[in-house]
Amino acid sequence: MEINRVAVLGAGAMGSGIAQVVAQAGYEVWVRDIKDEFLERGKANIEKSLRRAVNKGKISLPKYKEIMNRIHFTTDLEEAVKDADLVIEAVPEIMDLKKQVFQDVCRFNSKALLATNTSGLSITELSKATDRPEMFLGMHFFNPVPVMALVEVIRGEKTGDEAVRIAVDFVKSIGKTPVVVKKDVEGFIVNRCLVPYLVLAIDDVEKGIAEAEEIDAELLYTYKMPMGPLELSDFVGLDILYYAGQQWDIVPKSKLLEEKFNNKELGMKTAKGFYDWRGGRPKIPKEKAGKYDALRIIAPMVNIAADLIAMGVADAKEIDTAMKLGTNMPKGPLELADEVGLDVILSKVEEIYREKGYEILRPSEYLRKLVSEGKLGKKASEGFYRYEAGTYQNIRIEKLDKGVVKLVLNRPHRLNTITIELLDELKRALDELSFDSEARVIVITGEGKAFSAGLDLQAAGTDEVLNPSVSMLLAAKGQEAFTAIERTPKPVIAAINGYAFGGGCELALACDFRIMAKNAQIGLTETSLGLIPGWGGTQRMAKILGIAKAKELIMFARRLNGEEAEKTGLVNRAVDPEKFWDEVMEFATQLAEGAPVALRLAKYAINFGYELPVESGQVIEAAYFGITTSTDDVKEGFAAFFEKRKPEFRGR
């Protein structure tokens, strides 16, 4: 089944966001709502979002018009769905309302894949309102849709494999990351783990275990969460948490939450919840950290995730991927558990279960099993994950055909932002590949929609970055890793598939070649934060472009698209996105066919002789020239030349 036309039912925040990303991916979209005023509001939201993208240089004005021309608005349900290949329902979270919508859809369409954007209603129950439960599933987008990468694809009891395959392919085609929820359980993955975590934090405030600021400070500053649980509760909406508690048995009941709901203290939307939001986002004092045991709420989240594995809902990687993409957690709960130690986690879960008695806190038998088998996490080399020597957590190495090796920055939930751990792994990987005789060319790229958006400020900690002694060490760390790229004896290509800002741009500049998608963006943007590039950007950009152009791009924090970067000489090639990997692989494969020793020595002669006086550089060149004449490859090259055939270099 091929999807060409999509119907989105509901023009609210979720429906309009879904329509936007689907249209941006090239699909024709029909948006239906029950009143013209709702459609106008939804259209205005889409236009505002796209205009913001134009102003930031992410899309062109003609592209904006092209996208809007693909979105059609109507109050006529039949017009919206009759020719649709996929129908995505995004109406309010009311079971009877959603059922009625799908009953009406089935009157006008008998072929489409049917999907609900519910955040927690039963997929199985909703499917009963349709004439095709095998072609019905959940497609749970996260708000704001244009920004959040995750889509949970949820099976109902009768959902067919073909429906899941079509949905997964579609989600990927619109630039999102699908995680398949294999069983229809309350809260699916993200909300099942997240909502109890939030309500348990509220429970600890209610019972006087800690103040809201103490809990939030610990999670914010010690665990590097983007928000503490009380601030996040305010941000999500305390009414949403209250209704979740009414709807799901998994959510502990909270008198304090009910009290705030009744008093209309719903968080950010009413300017008052656990914090006063009238002046914007609350400022959590750092000195409040260290006064709360965060494992009181982290361990239960791990326990819930362990049960999801046991129930066959998802595996550890899928759960962590969903949690990182759906909540912006720096690490998934199971990754974090392996670092803490599963014995420590289990002990804390048992303690909290004895204290509170909520059923959701009953220690997971799967967690008990892992601990009893000695699988305690990193300290035992196995927990939810296996930790073998030489494995990587932040990068991935893929050995492709003909000597091409792909080194993938693998932190898509954080736009592949760079941490100390990633720098260490990058350097270690380059060292290993330097001595791998089968690796002839290294291609560095990013997982997902970014190459790398630079330093992970959340992981580094703003206070640490602004501490001169620490920031100097951080700069030296990045410089050492990126210099290793220049010293690597293999040609290195930066395949810039998306955002390459700040440190991500500096990484690309250290590579021998840069191939960039036309819709990607690149720039040394540090001065917009009051900083300067610290990982070699001021030096390498000046060498590549000249001093005057480098000053312009750095001082104005310019962001260039692929075509602009090619025109300035910052990248070797800018290619159409749909041909990007074909172009990269063609370039890399041709390079890999060259003589390895000659390529290595040419790289060194250029890199290390460039700044020397010409006479001194020529001495290096002559020495390296002499070395090449002693290789088997030069003999093969000469023989192939006279025999009029293609040489087969072996790197000897």
Contact 169, 153 (CB under 8 A): no
Q: Are strands 560-561 and 521-523 parallel, antiparallel or unpaired?
A: antiparallel
| Tokens 């927990």 belong to residue | 383
574, 516 in Cβ contact below 8 A? yes
- State the Cα–Cα distance between residues 404 and 433, nearest whole angstrom: 11
Instruction: Answer yes or no: are the C-beta atoms of 338 and 316 closer than 8 Å.
Output: no
Question: Is the peptide bond between 363 and the residue preceding it cis, with omega within 30 degrees of 0?
Answer: no
**How far is 412 from 317, CA to CA, in rounded Å?**
13
Select which of 335, 506, 564, 566 is catalytic.
506
In angstroms, the CA 389 to CA 451 distance is 27
Q: Pick from 250, 245, 138, 142: which is nearest to 184 by CA?
A: 138
Query: CA-to-CA distance for 487 and 480, rounded, in angstroms?
Result: 10
Report the DSSP beta bridge partners of residue 446.
Answer: 409
Q: What is the largest CA-CA distance in the chain?
A: 89
389: closest CA among 432, 336, 333? 432
Shortest CA distance to 116 belongs to which of 133, 140, 144? 140
Close Cβ partners of 497 (under 8 Å, ≥ 6 residues apart): 445, 446, 449, 450, 451, 517, 520, 580
Collapsing DSSP to helix, strand or coil, 79 comes out as helix
Strand, helix or coil for residue 98? helix
CB-CB contact of 274 with 231 (8 Å): yes
Q: Which of 526, 552, 566, 636 is catalytic?
A: 526
Exposed/middle/buried for residue 360 (C-beta within 10 Å: 0-12, 13-18, 19+)? buried
Burial of 142 (0-12, 13-18, 19+ CB in 10 A): buried
Residue 506: active-site member:
yes
Which spans in 224-294 are helix H?
Answer: 229-236, 238-247, 255-262
| DSSP category for residue 317 | H
Query: How far is CA 379 from each of CA 296, 336, 393, rounded to the nearest angstrom?
Result: 22, 13, 15
Residue type at 174? I
Q: How many residues does the chain have?
A: 652
Catalytic machinery residues: 506, 526
